[in-house]
């Protein structure tokens, strides 16, 4: 048990040493940017139900991996918008 922890620690140290500090900062910056994009997509499209905003977040050649949904931005999001609107219709009373 102790030896496996030691090996894990050595592996982590070697991994950290293998990544130059500049690259690590660049990776952190990219990760931060990507998280902001995902958060904006989630709040705008999923929570705000603004499916027309999807092209701001996805490429035209978006690949849909569900075989029952067409691939490409237009086909995927047309299906998604239909499902979102039918399963979670907007209410005028303000309740969920």
d(CA 11, CA 27): 20
Q: The tokens of 81 are what?
A: 């918008």
Q: The tokens of 25 are what?
A: 């900062």
Containing 58, the helix (H) or strand (E) segment is: none
Torsion on CA atoms 36, 38, 44, 48, rounded to nearest 10: -120
Q: The tokens of 71 are what?
A: 């691939």
Nearest Cα to Cα of residue 52 among 83, 19, 78, 20: 78
* pTM for this entry: 0.53
pLDDT in tens, 16-69: 555 556 666 778 889 999 999 999 988 998 788 787 888 888 888 888 888 888
């Amino acid at each position: 048990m102790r030896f496996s922890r030691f090996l894990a620690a050595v592996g982590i140290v070697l991994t950290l040493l293998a990544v130059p500090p500049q690259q690590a900062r660049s990776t952190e910056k990219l990760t931060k940017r990507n998280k902001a994009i995902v958060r904006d997509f989630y709040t705008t499209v999923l929570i705000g139900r603004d499916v027309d905003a999807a092209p701001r977040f996805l490429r035209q050649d978006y690949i849909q991996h569900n075989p029952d949904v067409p691939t490409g931005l237009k086909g995927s999001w047309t299906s998604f918008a239909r499902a979102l609107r039918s399963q979670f219709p907007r209410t005028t009373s303000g309740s969920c």
